Amino acid sequence: MNDDLKTFCPKCGAEMKINARYCMHCGYLNYNHPDNKKMQQFAKENDIQQTKYEIGSGSLIQNNNNNKGSINVSLSTGNKKIFFLFNLLILLGLVLGGLLITSLKYGTDLTKIINSTYPFFLMIGVLIYLYVVSFEIIFMKTNKMWWKALIPIYNFAILTEITMNSKWYALLFLIPIINIIFLFIVFYKLGKSFGYSGLLCAILFLIYIPIIAFTGNSFKGVNYVSDNEKDALEKEYKMFHVLGIVIVFVFIISLFVTIYSNFSLVINGFDEVKKYSYINLSNEVVTKVKKAIESGNYSCNTGDKIKEGEIYNFYSHYISDDFDLKLVNSDKFMINIMVIKNVDTYLYYVSFSDGEIGFSNVLDNEITTKSFLKTGNINIDENKKCIIHF
């Protein structure tokens, strides 16, 4: 052992040589010193536990009297600065990557980007990422390499090693039904290891995983740090907290934008959901009409095919009874696809009504919930009706 290595007194925190028999500041005995081993039988049990050596962790550098456990130097958790920068870049990639993909469709129109699905999927992605980061931190707090939490399947093996002391228990995750029960056992033991209620952790693990990661509770009374400094634990927790705050901030912003862009859906509830279902059903009918026209599997009461510049109507009752249109007030349901041929292209104008709300002659790719108005029956040209042949 290098005689010049420094550590800190577990009792008063003063700096001392790692091979010193006692602290020069308070006289506390170092029970890791060979000459003090015989004194253990006369020492209090708590004193011995304070200076115990954790196998594979390095040297004990500090002991807290606030029930947060001892602080041990460990080289088995990975570089925490790399951990911080890596996860910050991944988070930045989620934000900018999603924004770039969305801008390819909507350009730089901020209103369209806000009203797109981007904020919602960013919110979901950041929420999932919060749990990934939480497990990385939990792995470090249990003296495991943080990046092992990123490896599918293997991360389960490490998790069972942490809670059950063996990677082989991970095979139980492959057995149906038993894997669910075993998952609760794993989270029960994980919660207990960090001083939380095992039962609550097993039941509410989605809540407790970030709590275990970002709070100061130690793993079985031991905190593992990378540097042999007195304030190493505080520095590392500041790093964890900064990353956690950034993740939560991005999540809250994306949540706010999602709620803002879908405010009418949140307020009006069922009515908005019904409108979305009507739009989807209208698109389904339009798709089948398009396929029928492309394949020629249709006929009109005029006896000919669709001619350029003329208007033809595919009315809901004339399309087919094979449509599985699961609608409220289906007896009042009416939909018409007005088709106009323009050279080699076709324009599809949709009219819809359920007897209460609907829209009239809206281009198929421009239908939104704002297209709906209070409307009754749909008026169509009875002389130019068409039907699809299935």
Return the pLDDT at 11.
58
Return the pLDDT at 49.
42
Q: Is 120 or 72 the better-scoring residue by pLDDT?
A: 120
Please tell me the number of Cα atoms within 13 Å of 246 on its side-chain side: 18
Q: Is 333 or 217 the better-scoring residue by pLDDT?
A: 217
pLDDT-wise least confident of 64-73, 172-181, 284-293, 332-341: 64-73
Return the pLDDT at 266.
63
From the list 308, 368, 369, 317, the residue with the least C-alpha distance to 340 is 308
Task: State whether the Cα torsion 296-299-303-307 is positive or negative.
Answer: negative
pLDDT-wise least confident of 97-106, 128-137, 176-185, 294-303: 294-303
Is the pLDDT at 138 greater than 80, yes or no? yes
What residue ranges in 294-380 does DSSP mark as E strands?
298-300, 311-315, 334-342, 345-353, 357-363, 373-374
Cβ atoms < 10 Å from Cβ of 347: 12
Return the pLDDT at 185.
93
Domain ranges of the chain: 6-73, 80-261, 271-388
3-state SS class at 276: helix
Is the pLDDT at 60 greater than 80, yes or no? no
198-255 pLDDT, tens digit per residue, is 899 999 989 999 999 998 888 887 887 777 666 777 888 888 999 999 999 999 999 9
Is the pLDDT at 158 greater than 80, yes or no? yes
Mean pLDDT of the chain: 79
- Give the burial string for 231-254 (b: 16+ CB within 10 Å, else e): ebbeebbeebeebbeebeebbeeb
